[in-house]
Amino acid sequence: MVTMADSAPAPLATALDLTDRVVIVTGGTKGVGRGITERFLEAGAHVVVTARNAPETPLAWGDRSASFVAADIRDPDQTAAVIAAATEAHGRIDVLVNNAGGSPMAEAASASPRFSESIVKLNLLAPLYLSQAANAVMQDQDTGGSIINIGSLSGLRPSPWSAAYGAAKAGLLNLSQSLAIEWAPKVRVNVVSGGYILTEQAELHYGDDAGVARVAATVPLGRLASPTDIGDACLYLASPLARHVSGANLAVHGGGEAPPFLAAADLR
């Protein structure tokens, strides 16, 4: 039976206080993942980070530190071990952020089957495996849980020279919407689709400082996103403020991309 208490808002002053909540962030040692990790630490959460390699510098905010579990999340057995380790250490899982992903540039015409399979495994199947394992824990909790999948602008429009990546991210959005229906009402599933983001590896995608500036100039808000911008969106979706948000795609892209015809027709 649904009651008004089910939709009662949390006090605004404490809505973003996630003290003692347990959060797993994949690929949380650098770049966007590190920004997400630091934001949840600042909110008071216990954060478990997983990646293939340990962080080069400590993952901490103030007196709070994230714990680390090494894993290749493309392997279902290793993803299950991550969920088991977090549950054993903390007794619960409140939030899973499937952040790990990415792809080098590759022409679709010459990409090998092994390459394409690896990209799809990392960006689509790994989030599915982790979500399945986390959902099994969350469904047994009175408070359920929240799963946040990090998508990409590449999954919302053509993705030349990263076709497998774009297709995987498009699939991740559909997967998230499907899981949001299957796993409700206990577990909310949402997507944060990032646009152009300034990380340690920005030069691989945008070139030198001048290239970054040119790309930033195409963004309506006039700059690339920061990892903290993505972290803020995740914090919102994990919080009581998003208690009635599930199956949604929160685009954090600074306004998106202007239609190319505007520049070609010289209408601006």
pLDDT recorded at residue 161: 94
Tell me the mean pLDDT in the region 152-170: 95
Containing 234, the helix (H) or strand (E) segment is: helix 227-238
Give this prediction's pTM.
0.93
Could you say which of 165, 196, 206, 236 is catalytic?
Answer: 165
Give the pLDDT confidence score for residue 79 in this predicted structure: 96
12 pLDDT above the threshold of 90: no
Of 114, 146, 164, 184, nearest to 25 by C-alpha is: 146
Fold classification of 17-264 (topology level): Rossmann fold (3.40.50)
pLDDT of residue 204: 64
For the chain, percent of residues with pLDDT exceeding 90: 77
Alpha-carbon gap, residue 172 to 191, rounded angstroms: 8
Catalytic site residue 236?
Answer: no
CB atoms within 10 A of CB 239: 20
Name the band, by pLDDT with cuts 50, 70 and 90, for residue 5: very low
Q: What CA–CA distance (Å, rounded) separates 162 from 116?
A: 10
pLDDT digits (tens, 9 = 90+) for 48-87: 999 999 998 889 988 899 999 999 999 999 999 999 999 9
Would you kindly state where each structural domain of the chain is located, as residue ranges? 17-264
Task: Give yes or no for residue 135 having a pLDDT over 80.
Answer: yes
Q: What is the mean pLDDT of residues 125-151?
A: 98
Instruction: Say which amino acid occupies 262.
Output: L
* CB atoms near residue 178 (< 10 Å): 12
Task: Tell which phi-psi region holds residue 144, choosing left (phi > 0), alpha (psi between -120 and 50) or beta.
Answer: left
Whether the pLDDT of residue 267 is over 70: the answer is no
Q: Average pLDDT for residues 186-192, to the nearest whole number?
A: 98
- Find all residues with CB under 8 Å of 27, minimum gap 6, and list them: 33, 50, 51, 99, 100, 101
Instruction: Please say if the pLDDT value at position 34 is more than 90.
Output: yes
